[in-house]
Every structure is written in C-alpha cells, then in structure tokens.
Amino acid sequence: MPARLLDGSALSAALRRALAGDVEALSSTGRRPGLAVVLVGDDPASQVYVRNKVRACADAGIRSELRRLPDDVTEAGLLDVIERFNADDGIDGILVQMPLPPHLSPARVLETIGVDKDVDGFHLSSAGALLHGRIEDGIGFLPCTPYGVMRLLDSAAVPIAGRHAVVIGRSNTVGKPMALMLLARDATVTLCHSRTRDLPEIVRTGDIVVSAVGRAATVTADMIKPGAAVVDVGINRDAAGKLVGDVDATVREVAGWLSPVPGGVGPMTIAMLLENTVLAARRRQAHTTPTT
C-alpha cells in the first residue's frame, strides 16, 4: 500500500482559515497583528518566498510591511531598519529573509531583532528557550519549518513518544531545532549530517525520518523501514528544472506516511510564521493591557 500523504497544503489552508478568525478577534480589540518583512537584494527565490509570505498575511488579515533594501546596504543601515521595527508598536513580528549578501553577518542581524518579535525563531534566545523547554513560558518562538513538521506529524497522529526519529541535516534553522522538538516529545533522536558514517543503516532504523539536506535523492526506498513516517524538507531542482525534495519518489512504496514536495512542509512553514505572528501580538497585548 502506498504511503499516506502528509498534506501540508490542505493543513496549512485549514490552519490559516482558523487563524483569520483569531486575527479578526484581535483586530476588533484595536490590535491588528503586523509583520515586518525585510528583503535585501533581488535573489529570485527569496523574492518568491517573500511574495508568498506577504500574500499569506493579507489572506489571514495580518498587516504586513515589506521593506526592500539594495544588496549593497551597509550592516549599520540594515540594523537601523530592524531597530526601527523593534520600536514600532504596530509591528508584532520581524522577518529578515535569508540568505543575506556575504558582507552582512546573519548572526548580528538576527540577534538585533527583539526576541519578542522573533517570529522566525532564529534568535539565540529563541534557540535557548527551545533547548530549555521555555517557549511555553512566553520566551521566544519555535522556528517555523521544524514546528510545521511537528504539526504535520500530529495532524496524521504519527506516534512520536518512544520512537526512533532520524533527522538528516544539522542546520541551526531546521536540523538542530527539529531534533530538539522531537526529543521534547520523547522520541529517541539521531541527528545525522554530511560526516555521518553508514547513513543508510541509521536511516533504516528510523520510525520517523526527516530529511533537511538540500540534495535530491538523499533518501531512497532501500533506506526506509516499512511503515516509517518520512518528512521531506528539501527544496531542489532536478535536471529538468522541476521542483523536487530530498526524498526519492520510490520511497512512497515503502513508507507509511510521506510529505510531498511541493505541497508538504513548505506551506506549513508559512502557516507557522502566521501563527507565531498572532502569538507575538497576543503576548504583546497581554503585556500592555491594563489590569485595573
């Protein structure tokens, strides 16, 4: 039996419809959530991602403010834009689209975003809050892509506690936080990377496999335990220019669940960005509403 589909497009659409109601409720109290999006340069892929995020905000009733900066903007110039958004009461979340041109330090840029507006979840404090299980205490935000993967797994009731989860890729934005989120749900986690020996053997023991490598056909059918849940975070182009993930199409015949590319994790990342923005607005409202 072919794998059940982990349909991120459908789940994302449902979550965004539900969120639109929350946004209207917040807006009726005089606080429409607002997201600032900063795009440096004219990288074509980044332009598409940013356009999709701005459109998704509009569809959910979230106000967005897009600031385009030339690719020779100085670091001081970019940090100044971020500081202004930090101080802007109409802005609940700030997103600086990555990657940045090489003369700009992503670490300095991301750490300038106020942690209360860090809706991408890339700030050191958000990473620390995830590590220590403190996000639910109102500190920082979960990074959108791994958060979307967890929601996709939960939507299909994929068992996590006690299962072996294999994460391939150790980026700060996906692999490492993904491993921590699965660990927080009591999975036994193995984090694999480019120097891992015997990758196929390790992946074959995974009840859950998340691939975030960025290379087509990293995961093939012979590497998958029958019935495993396979989540494909990769976005690659094949020789014909077609969008493909990290996971080979043949995996569908072996896996129990599989997320497609496109239509799997990508739409979930956007839904989580919007949820984080509404969460940021709620937290700020709770801090500013008088109690008497």
Q: Provide the pairing of β-strand 236-237 with 243-244.
A: antiparallel
Binding mask 156-195 for ligand GUN (x = CB under 6 A): ----------------------------------------
Contact with ligand GUN (CB under 6 A) among 118, 120, 207, 232: 120
Residue 275 interacting with ligand GUN (CB under 6 A)? no
Which residue is associated with the tokens 């994302």? 12
DSSP-derived secondary structure for 208-259: EEEE-S--TTSB-GGGS-TT-EEEE---EE-TTS-EE-SB-GGGGGT-SEE-
Task: Tell which positions 39-68 bind ligand GUN, by CB under 6 A.
Answer: 49
- When asked if residue 119 is in the footprint of ligand GUN (CB under 6 A), the reply is no
For ligand GUN, which residue of 98, 124, 183, 217 counts as binding (CB under 6 A)? 98
Catalytic option among 7, 118, 120, 246: 120
97 has catalytic annotation: yes
Check residue 211 for interaction with ligand GUN (CB under 6 A): no
Using DSSP bridges, classify how beta strands 257-258 and 229-232 pair: parallel, antiparallel or unpaired.
parallel
Question: Applying CB under 6 A, which of residues 12, 112, 126, 269 lies at the interface with ligand GUN?
Answer: 269
Is residue 112 part of the contact set for ligand GUN (CB under 6 A)? Answer: no
Q: Is 53 one of the catalytic residues?
A: yes
Is the four-CA dihedral 113, 116, 120, 122 of positive or negative sign? positive
Question: Which lies closer to ligand GUN via its Cβ, residue 206 or residue 264?
Answer: 264
The answer to whether residues 119 and 93 touch, using CB atoms and an 8 Å cutoff, is: yes
**97 part of the interface to ligand GUN, by CB under 6 A:** yes
Q: What are phi and psi of 96, to 5 degrees?
A: -105, 115
Shortest Å, Cβ 243 to ligand GUN: 15
Q: Find the angle CA(59)-CA(11)-CA(60) to the nearest 5 degrees.
A: 15
Q: Cα Rg for the chain, rounded, in angstroms?
A: 19
Q: Which of 11, 56, 144, 261 is the binder for ligand GUN (CB under 6 A)? A: 144
Q: Which helix (H) or strand (E) holds 40?
A: strand 34-40
Binding site for ligand GUN (CB under 6 A): 49, 95-98, 120, 144-145, 269
Which residues belong to the active site? 53, 97, 120
